[in-house]
Chain A
């Protein structure tokens, strides 16, 4: 049925003579619906990765819809506001954990893949996308360099709070960013976020050397 509908649309488009420049295919919404149907038929549960992971939240759906196009300012603002409101700050107001543990979390790339043991703590895989320290040459460039993160921005409480928010839910500051929402999505525990923030913000951390 779906396919016939598709061909019908295509041939209908071909019949519209005079409207030559644009041969309108199915609408964007129709293609998205078809893609959702195709994906549903193509993925299966494996290990901890169940097919319900294909159910998008509003941020994911909106960002997918605008991918490859310019994100309208009001849409971006809506995404950022919703995610900002969802950030959970530490109850005791303590943002900084142990940067040494933070470094291990930044190095570790496992967690949440169907091949991973769910009993093991996840990594944040920061180095996959960011430069952090001078010592580690195997770093990616999808995100900006975070070397001297605290040293350049200052070690004040506002900055600590911002770093916490950014790690917890990056969508709050940059709509449709490539960065996962580590706290919001439960990738890292609150304790782990504290350690990663320490890696960025502790003056003794190799990030700030």
Chain B
């Protein structure tokens, strides 16, 4: 990822070399940088594209997604993301937003599951429909308080399993999610790391995804966030909408309950 970026600008490999600056003023200036980005978030471009896609007829059944039930009834998008993941009786399993969108594209639009899951993470060469749909749906929960329910036993199971995965150490580097996200006030290089085992940390971390990543020029979903964390953990690839990804999302989303959802965001 950094490799691509470096190539894009065709500059000498200065990767992480940074000139001398006082740490405190550096932190202030980076805060200023982040504030300046808030003024215009290209995620809006994805939201607009996603809304159009939501309403457009597509697939073998030539149907739109407007009757898709995200948990609050067919076609209800407003506030739906703040209650996901949830147990869906029609599928008899716990689903996060991406899983549910795949389900709706199969059930309503008649796509094969493989087609509905294809190209989940976009590139300049190939934009991802999924990222646009997720941008639109999540944007419709902006300002809504996270309210994930563990009433259903399968939600409780997903939460418990997600917690175990969060603390699972493995691979050549012995990394777990908790390695970087288990303590307050830590950062990797200059990037702050939310402590996802604390209420405040989970709230801050979870409610600011999806996000437009300026380093990539793409909108990234929570499924992407998990996928790429495991890549950097040196794990094999986490499959898109896999049960582990949904369980981990359930663990983190539930821990974020009570906080106002605040995405799509913009991040480095």
Direct contact of A and B (CB under 8 A): yes
**Number of contacting residues on B, CB 8 A?**
57
- CB pair A142–B197 under 8 Å, yes or no, is no
User: Given that A178-B179, A185-B172 are contacting pairs, would A6 and B157 also be in contact in the complex, using a CB cutoff of 8 Å?
Assistant: yes
Near B by CB (< 8 A), chain A positions 125-163 give: 127-129, 134-142
Q: Of A39, A63, A142, which is within 8 A of B180 by CB?
A: A142
CA distance A37 to B1 in the complex (A): 31
Cβ-Cβ contact count across A and B, 8 Å cutoff: 172
User: Given that A64-B176, A67-B167, A136-B17 are contacting pairs, would A10 and B153 also be in contact in the complex, using a CB cutoff of 8 Å?
Assistant: yes
CA distance A59 to B172 in the complex (A): 12
Check if B185 is an interface residue, CB within 8 A of chain A.
Answer: yes
**Number of contacting residues on A, CB 8 A?**
58
Near B by CB (< 8 A), chain A positions 150-209 give: 171, 178, 180-181, 185-187
Q: Of A3, A49, A141, A181, which is within 8 A of B235 by CB?
A: A49
CA distance A20 to B35 in the complex (A): 49
Looking across the interface, which residue of chain A has its beta carbon closest to that of B245?
A: A42
- Residues in B neighbouring A59, C-beta threshold 8 A: 174
CA distance A43 to B239 in the complex (A): 6
- CB pair A113–B197 under 8 Å, yes or no, is no
Check if B128 is an interface residue, CB within 8 A of chain A.
Answer: no
User: Given that A34-B157, A107-B16, A140-B187 are contacting pairs, would A39 and B174 also be in contact in the complex, using a CB cutoff of 8 Å?
Assistant: no
Given A42-B245, A114-B231, output 16 extra A-B contacts at Cβ < 8 Å.
Answer: A11-B153, A38-B165, A38-B243, A41-B242, A43-B237, A44-B237, A46-B237, A49-B235, A50-B236, A63-B169, A64-B169, A129-B188, A135-B20, A137-B20, A139-B189, A140-B187
List 6 interface pairs A-B (beta carbons < 8 Å), by A numbering: A31-B164, A43-B239, A46-B237, A67-B167, A142-B193, A180-B173
A-B complex: 9 closest residue pairs judged by Cβ atoms: A42-B244, A42-B242, A35-B164, A67-B167, A46-B237, A180-B173, A140-B188, A43-B236, A60-B169
